Amino acid sequence: MSQPFYFESDYDRNKPLVIYGFGQICVNILLELYAEGIEVTAIFDANPKYHNTKVCGIPVLPPDRISEFNRESNVFISTRQGKFTFTKLFSDLGFRNLYYSFKPEIKAYDWLISKKEEHRGVIDSHSENIRRARSLFKEQESLDVFDARLNAYYNNDFIALERLYSPPTYFPKDIFSFTENEVFVDAGVWVGDTSLEFSNMVQGKYNFIHAFEPSEMLAFVAVRNFEFYNIKNIELYHYALSDKEGTVSFDHNLATQGAGAGKISKTGNAKVLCTSLDIFFKTKGRGLPSIIKMDIEGSEVAALEGAKEIIGGVMPKLAICVYHKLEDLWEVPNKIHEAQTGTGYDYYLRHQGSFYDTVLFASPRK
């Protein structure tokens, strides 16, 4: 996990400190601040159930009381969701000393802003593909997410996207229905949390879980979690997923990218085995998948190409991340649509983070 609080070289400990966002991250921050001898003046949160209470003697206040505080205060934004919205909130009120949990996310905003003209060029040159992908979504929330994500790249309007936040899950019950015979492909296992969520959601009643994780370190942690939580009928494979079988370069520099950012890359610092789902299930799989989740750091389009026989043949439920690359927003739904057969899919988009974590769901029509 990233360090929750960053003491930059310009941090002035003599100034009062306020925190926005009460929750587990905030509690962790308080412990760290106490260890450093730093006092907190107030905590702000939009949830009314916390208002007029105290945490470790610190008052929890509604956001409309922010203006009562000294503009020279240090402000720590602890929430992971809505960073850009809250940055604007404090900046518009005249606060300048802003600090963040999980700072790399804020750096990503700076990078996106610097790339705006380049992103506009990409969007303008793919207008027909974008139009075709957008036409696949029939539900208003999905269209709103599609437009807001595109606008975030085109005009750096991140707030509109953040306001469309919905609780994170790869298994939305208002989109998918499940049986007791599911075969789940968890592509991009990380530490096993999604497989655990799936097992809990169906109360352990499923056929099999195929878990793919090319990082040996993350796979080691995931297997231990599977054992600890007694996850049955699961096997983990040290493969990256793409449209081919072989060996690929894999970039997993923990010092610069963190534990969850490993990806296939020509400049990768390691070599890992690679396969496609079509090849894998012809030779090693136990039953064809009925639900596939992909969070594989930008390799989703290639992996879908490598699963087009499965998609066209058995029409599994799909939960595919579309936020790692700009083009994923339209290339992922178009790739699925090209492979589908029969009655086809209904397509949905949900936004489950600040700028990251936009997920496409494809649900087979009955």
Tokens 């400990």 locate to: 13
H or E stretch at 308: helix 308-314
pLDDT digits (tens, 9 = 90+) for 273-306: 999 999 999 988 678 999 999 999 899 999 999 9
What is the pLDDT at residue 217? 87
Q: Which amino acid is at 110?
A: D
Distance CA 47, CA 168 (A): 18
What is the pLDDT at residue 57? 87
pLDDT string in tens for the chain (366-residue length): 234 455 566 788 889 999 999 887 788 788 888 888 888 999 999 889 999 898 888 999 999 999 999 999 999 988 877 788 888 899 999 999 988 876 666 677 788 889 999 999 999 999 999 999 999 999 999 999 999 999 999 999 888 998 899 989 999 999 999 999 999 999 999 999 999 999 999 999 999 999 999 988 889 999 999 999 999 999 999 999 999 999 888 877 554 444 455 777 777 778 889 999 999 999 886 789 999 999 998 999 999 999 999 999 999 999 999 999 999 999 999 999 999 887 799 999 999 987 889 999 999 997
Residue 257 backbone dihedrals phi, psi, to 5 degrees? -115, -20
CA 56, 57, 60, 66 torsion: positive or negative? Answer: negative
What is the pLDDT at residue 211? 97
Residue 72 backbone dihedrals phi, psi, to 5 degrees? -85, 0
Distance CA 178, CA 317 (A): 10
Residue 64 backbone dihedrals phi, psi, to 5 degrees? -70, -5
What is the pLDDT at residue 255? 43
DSSP H helix total and E strand total for the chain:
14, 17
Q: According to DSSP H, which parts of 17-139 are helical?
A: 24-36, 83-92, 104-114, 116-125, 127-134
Instruction: Give the chain's domains with CATH numbers.
Output: 17-102 (3.40.50.720), 127-364 (3.40.50.150)
Mutual angle of helices 328-339 and 140-155, in 10-degree steps: 140
How would you class 271 by CB atoms within 10 Å of its CB: exposed for 0-12, middle for 13-18, buried for 19 or more?
Answer: exposed
Asked whether the beta carbons of 327 and 126 are under 8 A apart, the reply is: yes
Across the beta sheet with 97-100, the strand order is 53-55, 58-61, 42-44, 17-20, 74-77, 97-100
- The strand pairing partners of 364, in sequence order, are 345
H/E/C letters for each residue in 190-259? Answer: CCCHHHHHHHHHCCCCCCEEEEECCCHHHHHHHHHHHHHCCCCCEEEECEEECCCCEEEEEECCHHHHCC
The set of residues, in sequence order, having a beta carbon less than 8 Å from that of 191 and lying 6+ positions away, is: 218, 221, 222, 225, 259
What is the pLDDT at residue 344? 92
Whole-model pTM: value is 0.83
Mutual angle of helices 116-125 and 127-134, in 10-degree steps: 80
Give the number of other Cβ atoms within 10 Å of residue 167's Cβ. 7
CA 200, 201, 207, 211 torsion: positive or negative? Answer: negative
pLDDT digits (tens, 9 = 90+) for 190-236: 999 999 999 999 999 999 999 999 988 889 999 999 999 999 999 99
What is the pLDDT at residue 102? 65
CA 254, 255, 258, 264 torsion: positive or negative? Answer: negative
Give the number of other Cβ atoms within 10 Å of residue 243's Cβ. 19
Distance CA 366, CA 349 (A): 20
Asked whether the beta carbons of 34 and 5 are under 8 A apart, the reply is: no
